[in-house]
């Protein structure tokens, strides 16, 4: 069958966009062909710096014929209706339509038989549509044209069945030609087929298959390294990128001054990667970096690449000289210096939230308190907090922001006497940086990571900077997912025996600290929180005026809140709306997390409705509930619950039953039917058993205790009429249903469960 | 085409580029007499890229980036350096080739050196401008920026302008194989008075770095920033666009000086940038209106 080739020839396409563009092109092309009645079995795509395109091996010469029956108006309809029908069906006279009778009368029916359109014609129609709507991440206009493409588009080469197909798009050229390597073979090459295209380009030093280019790069690089007894530091992301930067990959090994090896390996590697797109080279014996680099070039240089290697080495030297200078400055002092602290005091974390150092102080207060739940050593936590942001004002982080934390860790490790946990905490307190990053595990690091993120969340909530559906400039979703994962993966228990919400307590402590600090009230601790002194300070603090605009209610009650919060202990703190709202946001992250693990969102809702804020316990409940509902007993009991709840709700609505009445005792003596007696007894057993199991957090056992209710509940609904005429019987039966509802709500709010 | 003599010194590079772009029909302009951070800020680029009228110009622009000062100690970082700027509206379809020819003219052979167009989404938030294009790399060294302007001062650029910025010192260091910018021959090394780049600029780098980081008066600069901003606004209200643009440039440079002293926090930074951008946008739209 005939072959199709399409090549979109442009100026250099950003490397990171090429692979995705191939996929988008194949998808759009396949869909449009299909919609036009053509079935492309396999679309193969290609991309190189100056072109993307595709070829299809076996495309029919024309689309399938269309046979369609279209029902028209009733016989004898007005002329206007008939004309509309004729036009739509492509008929010239009503005689061409057939008359078909059905039970409603006689209708015109048009039999439309259309020969399938030629493939070339279809391609001419769909290619411009695809080009105009192409989903480049960023696109541009050129000259006076309105066409948007990733970079100026110069030619659309399209060949079908050996013949050129002209594509008309906003004046872009459409010749059956392509061009070879920009420098080695810039001449135009006529193209007659896909095979001709690929082979001519190969001859003209362009490899259009990115996988082939990647393979060649890896092979050449490994060979060059092996020849020197070295090995390549593989980097898949970098490989993908450099494969998109060359038409004809030629790998060159360059030398680096060994003096630079005294820099941290990560600094050298990042310098090579981010600034120069070089691969690092390793000595397999020491596992350390070797004084070389690998650069992927685009030409077969006249001198075999000597000038290129020398030039690149010079650029790298200049880069690393900079890095070395920075590192020298940074390592000249211990990590903590008064000068660095003074700098942090000047860097505004957020205009309304004070400096980075203010944040450190808040984090310190919160982290100390969190030691109670994480079990970290408070002394180490205090040390780690004081050091954790210091590296932000180092020269090295100034140059490589992605090394924040890592540089702090290294500098801390250079300082004598610093505990290993402190160094780890400095690096890890930013983690997890994304859904795939690891979470901290060292107790000190966990404490600091939680305190840092909770402070960020509380602080932005307090100034009304919540994320919206489309915008989350301060990465608050990531921070809260980080909290959720750190808590869960380390099994951190915000646990309390009396159902007090402990995590909420920490959010409030943090909020208090924020208010306290933003007003610079440290002195107040000595003044024993005199209400009028506080009042005076709050009202005269210019920083807090900002709060007044944003959260007038909080502002009004601020002196009172500060006094209250500062004088209370964790767990006794009132619940201002800010922290409740934030808790709900954290809960949402947990829901997303659980949903990603395949847990039903309604089960998560059902457990959340209990108002718990111990994330570990919540997950345990959800898991037990999920397992329970998958059993037959569980599913049936849910149905029984729904029925009971519906009856109760209907009665409550009619005013014939109230929550007050539901609290009274079942009159066991008045139970008439065997089925209701059985349910009563089952409830008497299940309710305390479930409650006891829940107390011990044995949720599976609690579910098991409840599953014993299934048979009596089913029998009850089958045999017993709830709305009995005798008010005493009716009351007893409604009480039984209330008990049932109560028993199940030990483990979850079943009303939130679907099904 | 006549045979061209390969450049031998820094000023040869400038002269060669000027001659080459003059041959392409560009008006060869002189530097703008305001302190600017980049050649793009010359009104010949910022303002002339707007509006429908064709425009071709090329010029050298001294550029000041106070933060980049290194007291003359860094081999290739300077707080004052030269850019060679070319602006062509509309962008000719063969602009890439024209650019590569200019490199060949200053002695860069594309079959000996590895020349690459690496993605660079250019953006200058202080003038509300952005475009797409590349950094041009020669053996791993960024020697030029190449941009198709899409917006300036928040306004669509129609037709599109092609903008080329050559980093002259880097390019010359590369061409002459010099590792330290101060060692670049500035004039003909065989002339009676051979001068290096260092002879001319080393002392300047030392003194200006000290000024930028230690001696500039942040409070005064903040005041001047506020004054320059107010003046630009007043002039804009009078429809006096070009002088208003001068004051916008002054504000922009004063902000850079404040930034170099490390007294601008990341968030305040955004607000300063927004203030300059508002002025630049005001100038750009007033200018564009006058071009219709």
Q: Is it the case that residue A505 has pLDDT exceeding 90? A: no
Q: Is it the case that residue A580 has pLDDT exceeding 60? A: yes
Q: State the Cα–Cα distance between residues A85 and A72, nearest whole angstrom.
A: 6
Helices marked H in A36-118: 79-89
| Averaged pLDDT, A429-444 | 91
- Mean pLDDT score of chain B: 93
Which band of pLDDT confidence, cut at 50, 70 and 90, is reported for residue A158?
A: very high
Residues of chain A positioned with their CB less than 8 A from the CB of B109: 302
Q: Is it the case that residue A123 has pLDDT exceeding 80? A: yes
Q: Is it the case that residue A186 has pLDDT exceeding 60? A: yes
Which band of pLDDT confidence, cut at 50, 70 and 90, is reported for residue B221?
A: very high
Does residue A437 belong to any structural domain of this protein? no
Which band of pLDDT confidence, cut at 50, 70 and 90, is reported for residue A527?
A: very low
Residues of chain A positioned with their CB less than 8 A from the CB of B139: 307-308, 310-312, 315
Q: Is it the case that residue B108 has pLDDT exceeding 90? A: yes
**Nearest in space to A248 (alpha carbons), one of A192, A178, A182:** A182
- Mean pLDDT score of chain A: 86
| Averaged pLDDT, A235-256 | 96
Three-state DSSP class for residue A612:
coil
Angle CA(A651)–CA(A656)–CA(A662) in degrees, nearest 5?
A: 80
Q: State the Cα–Cα distance between residues A11 and B119, nearest whole angstrom.
A: 11
Which band of pLDDT confidence, cut at 50, 70 and 90, is reported for residue A33?
A: very high
| Residue A169 and residue A52 share a domain | yes
| Averaged pLDDT, B94-108 | 96
Residues of chain B positioned with their CB less than 8 A from the CB of A321: 74-75
Q: Is it the case that residue A500 has pLDDT exceeding 60? A: no
| Residue A161 and residue A54 share a domain | yes
> Taking CB atoms and an 8 Å limit, are B93 and A152 in contact across chains?
yes
Split into its structural domains, chain A has a count of 4
Does residue A604 belong to any structural domain of this protein? no
> Taking CB atoms and an 8 Å limit, are A298 and B267 in contact across chains?
no
Instruction: Provide the pLDDT for residue A168.
Output: 93
A699 interfacial to chain B (CB closer than 8 Å): no
Mention every residue, 6+ apart, whose C-beta is less than 8 A from residue A358. A345, A349, A517, A518
Q: Which two tokens stand for residue B129?
A: 């401008």
Does residue A85 belong to any structural domain of this protein? yes
Q: Is it the case that residue A384 has pLDDT exceeding 80? A: yes
A316 interfacial to chain B (CB closer than 8 Å): yes
A33-47, A114-128, A295-309, A658-672: which has the highest mean pLDDT? A295-309
Distance from CA of B167 to the nearest CA of A (A): 14
| Averaged pLDDT, A250-265 | 94
> Taking CB atoms and an 8 Å limit, are A152 and B148 in contact across chains?
yes
Q: State the Cα–Cα distance between residues A235 and A105, nearest whole angstrom.
A: 74
Residue carrying structure tokens 């602006």: B87
Q: Which of B104, B140, B158 would best serve as a mutation to test chain A binding (most A beta carbons within 10 A)?
A: B140
Instruction: Provide the pLDDT for residue B127.
Output: 77
Of A15, A141, A343, the CB nearest to B160: A141
Q: Is it the case that residue A525 has pLDDT exceeding 50? A: no
Distance from CA of B97 to the nearest CA of A (A): 10
Which band of pLDDT confidence, cut at 50, 70 and 90, is reported for residue A652?
A: confident
> Taking CB atoms and an 8 Å limit, are B141 and A315 in contact across chains?
yes
Write out the H or E segment, with its range, that includes residue A729. helix A727-744
Instruction: Provide the pLDDT for residue A354.
Output: 78
| Residue A638 and residue A717 share a domain | yes
> Where a domain ends, among A113, A143, A177?
A113
Supply the CATH number for residue A737's domain.
1.10.730.10
| Residue A124 and residue A245 share a domain | no
Which band of pLDDT confidence, cut at 50, 70 and 90, is reported for residue A595?
A: confident
Three-state DSSP class for residue B134:
strand
| Residue A298 and residue A155 share a domain | no
Q: Which two tokens stand for residue A57?
A: 């091996």
Q: State the Cα–Cα distance between residues B49 and B91, nearest whole angstrom.
A: 11
Query: What is this model's ipTM?
Result: 0.93
| Averaged pLDDT, A88-109 | 82
Q: Between the CA of residue A209 and those of A22, A200, B108, B267, what are the distances in Å? A: 11, 14, 29, 45
| Residue A277 and residue A155 share a domain | no
Mention every residue, 6+ apart, whose C-beta is less than 8 A from residue A523. none
A112 interfacial to chain B (CB closer than 8 Å): no
| pLDDT tens digit sequence for A52-70 | 999 998 899 888 887 778 8
Mention every residue, 6+ apart, whose C-beta is less than 8 A from residue A470. none
A183 interfacial to chain B (CB closer than 8 Å): yes
Q: Is it the case that residue B26 has pLDDT exceeding 60? A: yes
> Taking CB atoms and an 8 Å limit, are B140 and A347 in contact across chains?
no
Residues 10-39 (A) with a CB less than 8 A from some CB of B: 11-12, 14-16
| Residue A160 and residue A215 share a domain | no
Residues of chain A positioned with their CB less than 8 A from the CB of B262: 343, 346
Does residue A639 belong to any structural domain of this protein? yes
Of A141, A315, A317, the CB nearest to B139: A315
| Residue A163 and residue A47 share a domain | yes
The DSSP result for A536-588, as a single string, is: HHHHH-HHHHHHHHH-HHHHHTHHHHHHHHHHS-TT-----HHHHHHHHHHHH
Does residue A283 belong to any structural domain of this protein? yes
Contact A236, A265 (CB under 8 A): no
Residue-range definition of the domain harbouring residue A744: 631-752
Q: Which of A20, A142, A320 would best serve as a mutation to test chain B binding (most B beta carbons within 10 A)?
A: A142
Which band of pLDDT confidence, cut at 50, 70 and 90, is reported for residue A498?
A: very low
| Averaged pLDDT, A449-461 | 89
Q: State the Cα–Cα distance between residues A683 and A709, nearest whole angstrom.
A: 7
DSSP A102: E
Of B113, B121, B160, the CB nearest to A307: B113
> Which residues is A625 bridged to in the sheet?
none
> Taking CB atoms and an 8 Å limit, are B114 and A301 in contact across chains?
yes
Instruction: Provide the pLDDT for residue B113.
Output: 95
Mention every residue, 6+ apart, whose C-beta is less than 8 A from residue A505. A570, A571, A572, A573
User: What percent of chain A shows pLDDT beyond 70?
Assistant: 89
Q: State the Cα–Cα distance between residues A388 and A422, nearest whole angstrom.
A: 9
**Nearest in space to A226 (alpha carbons), one of A246, A248, A247, A251:** A251
> Taking CB atoms and an 8 Å limit, are B263 and A346 in contact across chains?
yes
Q: Is it the case that residue B254 has pLDDT exceeding 60? A: yes
Which band of pLDDT confidence, cut at 50, 70 and 90, is reported for residue A553?
A: low
| Averaged pLDDT, A533-553 | 59
| pLDDT tens digit sequence for B32-42 | 999 999 999 99
> Where a domain ends, among A169, A203, A237?
A203
Which band of pLDDT confidence, cut at 50, 70 and 90, is reported for residue A517?
A: low
| Averaged pLDDT, A119-128 | 95
Does residue A236 belong to any structural domain of this protein? yes
Q: State the Cα–Cα distance between residues B119 and B254, nearest whole angstrom.
A: 31
Q: Give Cα B112 to chain centroid, integer Å.
A: 28
Does residue A220 belong to any structural domain of this protein? yes
> Taking CB atoms and an 8 Å limit, are A298 and B114 in contact across chains?
yes
Q: Which of B56, B96, B139, B149 would best serve as a mutation to test chain A binding (most A beta carbons within 10 A)?
A: B139
Write out the H or E segment, with its range, that includes residue B101. helix B95-105
Distance from CA of B249 to the nearest CA of A (A): 26
Does residue A134 belong to any structural domain of this protein? yes
Of B76, B111, B268, the CB nearest to A299: B111
| Residue A674 and residue A720 share a domain | yes
| Residue A722 and residue A640 share a domain | yes
Q: State the Cα–Cα distance between residues B55 and B287, nearest whole angstrom.
A: 15
Lowest-pLDDT range of A385-394, A584-593, B216-225: A584-593
Higher pLDDT, A484 or B99: B99
Higher pLDDT, A536 or B20: B20
DSSP A140: B
Higher pLDDT, A547 or A183: A183
| Residue A241 and residue A148 share a domain | no
Strand A105-114 relative to strand A98-102: parallel, antiparallel, unpaired? antiparallel
> Taking CB atoms and an 8 Å limit, are B141 and A311 in contact across chains?
yes
Q: Between the CA of residue B133 and those of A10, A13, A153, B121, B168, what are the distances in Å? A: 12, 9, 13, 6, 19
A322 interfacial to chain B (CB closer than 8 Å): yes
A543 interfacial to chain B (CB closer than 8 Å): no
| Residue A50 and residue A132 share a domain | yes
Q: Is it the case that residue A296 has pLDDT exceeding 90? A: yes
- Rounded to 5 degrees, φ, ψ at A100 are -120, 135
Q: How many CB pairs under 8 A join A and B?
A: 122
> Taking CB atoms and an 8 Å limit, are B75 and A301 in contact across chains?
no
Q: State the Cα–Cα distance between residues A276 and A259, nearest whole angstrom.
A: 19
| Averaged pLDDT, A193-217 | 96
| pLDDT tens digit sequence for A320-368 | 988 888 899 899 999 999 999 998 988 878 777 778 998 898 899 889 8
Residue carrying structure tokens 């009445």: A661
Of A154, A303, A317, the CB nearest to B112: A303
């Amino acid at each position: 069958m005939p072959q199709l080739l399409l090549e979109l020839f442009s100026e250099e396409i950003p490397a990171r966009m090429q692979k995705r563009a191939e996929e988008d092109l194949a998808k759009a092309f396949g869909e449009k062909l299909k919609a036009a009645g053509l079935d492309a079995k396999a679309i193969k795509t290609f991309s190189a710096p100056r072109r993307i395109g595709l070829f299809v091996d076996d495309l029919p010469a024309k689309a399938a014929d269309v046979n369609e029956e279209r029902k028209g108006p009733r016989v004898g309809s007005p002329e206007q209706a008939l004309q509309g029908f004729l036009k739509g069906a492509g008929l010239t006279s009503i005689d061409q339509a057939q008359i078909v009778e059905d039970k409603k009368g006689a209708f015109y029916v048009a039999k439309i038989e259309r020969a399938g359109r030629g493939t070339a014609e279809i391609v001419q129609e769909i290619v411009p549509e695809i080009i105009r709507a192409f989903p480049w991440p960023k696109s541009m206009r050129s000259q006076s044209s309105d066409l948007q493409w990733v970079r100026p588009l110069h030619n659309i080469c399209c060949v079908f069945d050996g013949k050129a197909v002209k594509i008309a798009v906003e004046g872009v050229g459409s010749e059956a030609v392509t061009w070879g390597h920009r420098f080695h073979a810039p001449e135009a090459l006529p193209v007659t087929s896909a095979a001709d295209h690929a082979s001519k380009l190969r001859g003209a030093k362009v490899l259009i298959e990115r996988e082939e280019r990647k393979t060649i790069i890896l092979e050449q690089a490994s060979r060059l390294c092996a020849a020197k007894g070295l090995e390549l530091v593989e980097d898949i992301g970098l490989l993908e990128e450099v494969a998109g930067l060359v038409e004809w990959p030629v790998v060159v090994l360059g030398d680096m001054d060994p003096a630079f090896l005294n820099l941290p390996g990560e600094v050298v590697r990042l310098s090579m990667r981010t600034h120069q797109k070089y691969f690092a080279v390793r000595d397999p014996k020491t596992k350390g970096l070797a004084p070389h680099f690998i650069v992927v070039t685009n030409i077969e240089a006249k001198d075999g690449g000597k000038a290129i290697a020398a030039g690149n080495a010079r650029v790298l030297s200049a880069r690393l000289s900079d890095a070395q200078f920075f590192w020298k400055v940074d390592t000249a002092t211990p990590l903590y210096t008064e000068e660095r602290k003074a700098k942090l005091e000047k860097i505004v974390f957020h205009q309304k939230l004070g400096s980075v150092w203010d944040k450190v102080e808040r984090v310190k207060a919160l982290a100390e308190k969190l030691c109670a739940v994480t079990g970290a050593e408070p002394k180490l936590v205090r040390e780690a907090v004081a050091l954790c942001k210091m590296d932000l004002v180092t020269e090295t982080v100034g140059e490589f922001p992605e090394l924040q934390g890592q540089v702090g860790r290294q500098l801390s490790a250079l300082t004598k006497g610093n505990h290993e946990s402190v160094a780890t905490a400095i690096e890890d307190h930013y983690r997890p940086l994304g859904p795939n990053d690891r979470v901290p595990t060292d107790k000190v690091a966990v404490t600091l990571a939680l305190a840092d993120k909770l402070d960020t969340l509380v602080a932005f909530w307090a100034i009304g900077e919540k994320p919206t559906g489309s915008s989350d400039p301060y990465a608050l979703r990531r921070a809260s997912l980080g909290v959720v994962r750190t808590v869960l993966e380390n099994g951190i228990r915000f646990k309390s025996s009396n159902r007090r919400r402990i995590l909420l307590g920490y959010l409030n402590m943090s909020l208090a600290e924020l208010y306290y600090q933003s007003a610079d009230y440290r002195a107040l601790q000595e003044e024993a929180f005199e209400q009028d002194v506080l009042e005076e300070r709050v009202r005269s603090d210019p920083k807090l005026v900002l709060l007044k605009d944003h959260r007038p209610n909080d502002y009004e009650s601020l002196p009172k809140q500060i006094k209250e919060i500062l004088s209370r202990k964790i767990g006794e703190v009132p619940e201002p709306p800010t922290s409740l709202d934030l808790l709900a946001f954290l809960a949402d992250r947990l829901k997303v997390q659980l949903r990603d693990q395949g847990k039903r969102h309604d089960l998560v809702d059902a457990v959340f409705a209990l108002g718990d804020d111990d994330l570990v316990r919540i997950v345990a409940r959800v898991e037990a509930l999920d397992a329970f509902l998958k059993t037959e007993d569980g599913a049936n009991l849910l149905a029984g619950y729904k029925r009971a709840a519906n009856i109760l709700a209907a009665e409550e609505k009619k005013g014939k039953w109230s929550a007050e009445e539901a609290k009274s005792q079942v009159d066991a003596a008045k139970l008439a039917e065997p089925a209701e007696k059985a349910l009563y007894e089952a409830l008497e057993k299940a309710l305390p058993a479930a409650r006891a199991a829940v107390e011990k957090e044995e949720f599976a056992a609690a579910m098991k205790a409840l599953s014993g209710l299934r048979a009596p509940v089913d029998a009850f609904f089958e045999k017993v009429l709830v709305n009995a005429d005798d008010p005493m019987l009716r009351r007893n039966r409604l009480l039984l249903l209330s008990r049932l509802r109560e028993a199940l709500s030990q483990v979850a709010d079943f009303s939130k469960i679907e099904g | 085409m006549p045979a061209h003599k390969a450049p031998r010194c820094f000023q040869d590079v400038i002269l060669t580029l000027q001659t080459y772009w003059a041959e392409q029909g560009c008006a060869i302009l002189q530097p703008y007499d305001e302190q600017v951070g980049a050649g793009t800020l010359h009104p010949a680029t910022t303002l002339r890229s707007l509006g429908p009228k064709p425009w071709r110009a090329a010029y050298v622009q001294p550029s000041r980036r106070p933060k980049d000062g290194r007291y003359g100690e860094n081999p290739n970082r300077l707080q004052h350096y030269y850019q060679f700027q070319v602006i062509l509206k509309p962008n000719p379809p063969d602009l890439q080739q024209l650019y590569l020819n200019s490199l060949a003219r200053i002695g860069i052979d594309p079959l000996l050196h590895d020349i690459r167009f690496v993605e660079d989404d250019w953006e200058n938030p202080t003038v509300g401008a952005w475009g797409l294009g590349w950094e041009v790399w020669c053996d791993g060294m960024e020697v030029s920026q190449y941009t198709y302007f899409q917006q300036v001062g928040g306004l669509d650029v129609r037709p599109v302008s092609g903008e080329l910025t050559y980093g002259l010192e880097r390019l010359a260091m590369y061409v002459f194989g010099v590792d330290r910018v101060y060692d670049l021959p500035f004039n003909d090394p065989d002339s009676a008075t051979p001068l290096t780049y260092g002879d001319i600029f080393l002392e300047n780098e030392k003194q200006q770095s000290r000024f930028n980081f230690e001696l500039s008066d942040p409070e005064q600069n903040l005041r001047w920033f506020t004054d320059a901003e107010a003046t630009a606004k007043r002039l804009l209200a009078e429809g006096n666009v070009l002088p208003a643009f001068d004051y916008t440039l002054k504000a922009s440079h004063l902000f850079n000086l404040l930034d170099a002293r490390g007294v601008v926090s990341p968030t305040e930074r955004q607000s300063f940038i927004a203030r300059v951008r508002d002025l630049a946008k005001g100038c750009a739209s007033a200018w564009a209106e006058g071009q219709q």
